[in-house]
Chains A and B, each alone.
Chain A
Amino acid sequence: MRNRALLLLVISLLVLSVSVAAAQEPVTLRLSVWGGLGDQEAYQARLDLAHEAFPNITVELLYTPDDYDQRIQTMMAGGDAPDIVQLAEAIHGYSSRDQLLPLNDMVTAAELDLAARFGTNYLQYQYEGSLYALPDRGGAMIVYYNVDMFDAAGIGYPTADWTWEEFLAAAQALTITDGDATSQYGFAAGGWWPWWMSFIYQNGGAVLDETGAPVINSEAVQEALQFYNDLVYTYAVAPSPQDYADLGTNSPDPLFAQGKVAMIMTGFWNISTLRDVPDINWDIAPVWGNVNRGTVAFGSGLAITSGSAHPEEAFQIINFLTDEAAQSVIVERGEDAPANVNVLNSELFLSGETFANRDIYMEAFGESADAIIALPLIPQWNEMQSVMGTTLDELFLNAIDVPTAVEQIQFDLEDLLQ
C-alpha cells in the first residue's frame, strides 16, 4: 500500500517535472514594429519586462522604419513572417487574407475583459466577427496651439465646443501678413489623410456609408473639402504646398516648432518633439467640430500571424504588453498614449510629468474619446488611400475644383470596391 503510494508519488513527480520542462522550453519569437528610435527603445524596454515575467520566452525586435507593409508582406510571402506584428489602419488587408490569427478563443481562455482593458478601442481590430489584434497604442489627433500667439491676438484658446466659424475667425486673427509674405499662419495642414478626413466627418460627411458604398460626392463632403481648401486659397490662413516647399518642409510640425504657425493638428508624439524646443509657449486642446465633432485615433495593435509556430506564447506576450505594467512604460518614456484605459486614466499619464516638461491639458485625450471617427478600415485601405490621395493632391494644389475632385474619387472608389 505504502509502496503503491510512493510509486504514485514518483510517477506524478515525473509527470510534473516533464510538464514543467515542456513549459520552460525556451521559445524565441519575433515582434515587428515601425517608428522612430524612441519607439524602438520603448518596445525593447517593454520586451525586457516581458522576459522577466516569462523567462522562457525571448522576443526579438524587428525594427522597420520605412516601407513597413511591403516588408511584412514580403516576409509573409517568403514564409518567414514574424510571430507578432504591429499593425494599424492596414490591418484588415491582412485579416481578410487569413494572414492573422483570430484571437477570440485565446482571449476567452485567458479571461481577458476587452472592454475593461481597452474601452471601445478594440472594435476597430475586428473583422467579420473575429478579433485580430489587441490595441497597444492609442491617442487621438489633438490641436497644438501657440499660447503666446493667442494672447497677442487677444482671443480665447481652442476648445472642443468650437465650430468652423470660431476656428476660422481665430485662424484669421492669428494670421499675420507682411506685404505679400505671410510671417505667421493661423493654421497649417495639408494632404495627410487624418486632416482632411476629420474635416469631412466633422461636417457630417463620410467616405463610405454603412453598406460600404462610396459617398464621397455628397453635399457635406464637398462643403468640407471646399472649406478646407479655402483655408489656403481664399482666407489665406494656412500655407499651400508651394509655401511649404519655399519654407523647406512638407509638414506643419516643424513650422509650429519654429513659431510660424499658431495651430496644428497632430498626435501625441509631437509632445516629445516640442519638449526639447525652447522659446515656444504651447498647449494642447481637443479638435473642434462643425455638425459633429470629429478626430482620428492614431493607434496600433499587436497581432499574431497565422504562420506563427508558437501562438500560445505569442498571445502571452501581447497580453502582457497590453497590461498595465508594460503599458506604463509607454507613458514613462513619453512614447505615446497607451491603449490600456487604466493607464490612460492614471495620474502618471494625466500629470504628463514623465513626457512634458510643462503643465499641459492632458485631458484633451480623454475629451477626444467620444469624437473619434469610425474609420472605413476596409481590406483595400491602402489602395483607397492612394486613390483619394492622388486626386486630392491636385485639389490641394488648386489645379482642379471640388466637384471635379469628388466625382473622380467617387468613380475610382466605385471601381475599386465593385
Chain B
Amino acid sequence: MDVPAHLMSEARVERGKGRRLNARHRESLWFYLIISPWLVGLLLLLAGPMVYSIYLSFTDWNLFNAPEWVGLDNYVRLFTRDRNFGLALGNTFYYTLLYVPLNIVISLAVAYLLNKRLRGMRFFRTVIYLPYVVPVVATTMVFRWIFAPTNGQLNSLLALFGVVGPAWLLDPGWVKPALVIMSLWGMGSSVVFLLAGMQGIPTEMYEAAAIDGAGERQRFFNITLPMLSPVIFFNMIMSIISSLQTFTQIYILNADPNTPNNAINMIIPYLFDNAFRFNKMGYASAIAWVLFLIIFVFTLLVIRSSSVWVFYESEMKK
C-alpha cells in the first residue's frame, strides 16, 4: 500500500517521539536511583521517626515498657505545671533574642572591615573564621577560664578600665550574656557568607555612585546593605534555628556542679534530660513538637517579613 509522503514523515515523527519519551523515562529512572539513598534515608530515618514521635508525644513511655496513651497530658503539663520547662523556654528566648540581632550586626561590621584592601587581609580573615572550626566543646572549656570571676582574662581586662566584672558563668544574671559572647566568638560562618556576598556586588554600582557623589556611608547603606539583604536573610534564619537548638555549651556547663542550671538550661538540653536521663520519652517527644512549632512560627515570621526588607536583583523595586 502506498503511503503519502506527508503521512510517512508523520509516522517517523511518532516513532521519534516514542524514543524521546523512552529517553526521558530512563533519565527519571536514573534520577530516582541516584537520589534513593537520601529518599530512603528521609523516609526511614527522618519521616518515620517524626511521625512516630507525634504518637509518642501523647503517651507515657519509658523506652522499655509499652507506651501508655495519656492523651494531651504531656502538653497540658508542659504549659501548666512544669516550672523547669517554663524556665528553659524563657532562657532559650532570652538567648535567641540577644544573640541573633547581635550576630547580624557584628558579623556585618566585621565582614565590611574584612572586605577592605589591606595587607595581611587573608590572615585576618583566617583569624575570624578559625573559631568556627573549633569544636564547641573546646570553646566552652577555654571560655570557662576566660570567664573566671577574679582571675579570668576578661575580668582582668575589664579591671584595667576600672570595671569590676561580674562572675559571668556563676552569676544567674550574667550567664546568658556570657553564652552570647561565647557564641559570637564563633560567628565565622556568617561572616564568610556576607564577605562572599559583598565580593559579588558589581563594582560598577559603586563607581556609578561615586561619580554621582555618594560618600562611603551612602554607598554602604544604599548599595551594600540592599544587595546583601538575601545573605542577611539567610544568616538570620540559620542563626534563629541554631540558637533555639543550643545544646552542647549547656550540656558541658551543666556538668559543673556550681553552674546555675536554672538560669542556663534551654529547651534541647531539657529535652535530652527527659529522654535519656529521666527516661520520659513521651514527654520528651512533646517538648520536641513544641520546639518544632516555635521554630516554624519564627521562621515563618521572618520569611513573611522578607518581602519588606529583602531585595533581589531580579525583582523590581516597588
Chain A residues proximal to chain B, CB less than 8 Å: 69-70, 73-74, 76-77, 93, 97-99, 190-192, 241-242, 244-246, 248, 250, 380, 382-383, 386-387, 389-391, 393-394, 396-397, 399, 408, 411-412, 415
Contact = CB atoms under 8 A, between A and B. Distances in A.
Nearest to B65: A97
B276 A70 contact: yes
A245 B258 contact: yes
A191 B150 contact: no
Nearest to B77: A415
A389 B265 CA distance: 13
Majority secondary structure, A binding face: helix
A382 B274 CA distance: 10
Residue among B169, B171, B261 having the largest count of chain A Cβ atoms under 10 Å: B261
B65 A389 contact: no
Contacts of B259: 393
A102 to B, nearest CB: 16
A70 B277 contact: yes
A389 B258 CA distance: 10
Residue among B81, B256, B277 having the largest count of chain A Cβ atoms under 10 Å: B277
Contacts of B171: 397
B141 to A, nearest CB: 13
A243 to B, nearest CB: 8
B277 A69 contact: yes
A383 B277 contact: yes
Residue among B169, B172, B278 having the largest count of chain A Cβ atoms under 10 Å: B278
Given A241-B170, A250-B257, A391 B262 contact: yes
Interface residues of B, number: 31
B84 A250 contact: no
Contact of A245 (B65, B167, B263, B278): B167
A246 B148 contact: yes
A250 B84 CA distance: 25
Contacts of A190: 257-258
Contact of A390 (B65, B82, B84, B167): B84
A265 to B, nearest CB: 14
Interface string B71-87: 00000000001111000
B261 A97 contact: no
Nearest to A390: B261
A393 B62 contact: no
B170 A245 contact: yes
Contact of B279 (A73, A245, A250): A73
B81 A191 contact: no
Given A399-B172, A412-B83, A245 B64 contact: no
Contact of B258 (A191, A383, A391): A191
B258 A393 contact: yes
Interface string B142-171: 000000111100000000000000010111
Interface of B: 62-65, 81-84, 148-151, 167, 169-172, 256-263, 265, 273, 276-279
Contacts, number: 86
Given A245-B167, A250-B257, A394-B260, 6 more contacts: A77-B63, A93-B279, A99-B64, A245-B170, A389-B261, A393-B261
A247 B6 CA distance: 97
A386 B273 contact: yes
Contact of A397 (B63, B64, B256, B260): B260
B148 A245 contact: yes
A70 B151 CA distance: 36
A67 to B, nearest CB: 9
A408 B82 CA distance: 12
Given A69-B277, A70-B276, A241 B258 contact: yes
Nearest to A76: B64
Given A250-B257, A397-B171, A97 B64 contact: yes
Contacts of A246: 148-151
B57 to A, nearest CB: 18
A73 B63 contact: yes
Given A73-B279, A93-B279, A242 B167 contact: yes
22 contacts: A70-B276, A73-B276, A97-B65, A97-B279, A98-B64, A192-B257, A242-B150, A242-B167, A246-B149, A382-B278, A386-B277, A389-B261, A393-B257, A393-B259, A393-B261, A393-B262, A394-B263, A397-B258, A397-B260, A408-B83, A415-B82, A415-B83
A97 B62 CA distance: 8
Nearest to A192: B257
Contacts of B62: 97
Contacts of A397: 170-172, 258, 260
B4 to A, nearest CB: 74
Given A245-B149, A382-B277, A383-B278, A390 B257 contact: no
A415 B81 contact: yes
A411 B83 contact: yes
Contacts of A245: 148-149, 167, 169-170, 258
Contacts of A389: 257, 261
Contacts of A69: 277
B87 to A, nearest CB: 8
A246 B156 CA distance: 12
A396 B84 CA distance: 18
B248 to A, nearest CB: 14
B260 A393 contact: yes
B259 to A, nearest CB: 7
A7 to B, nearest CB: 53
A248 B279 CA distance: 34
A244 B273 CA distance: 26
A382 B256 CA distance: 16
B262 A390 contact: yes
Contacts of A408: 83
Nearest to A414: B81
Nearest to B274: A383
Given A97-B62, A415-B81, A396 B148 contact: no
Nearest to B63: A77
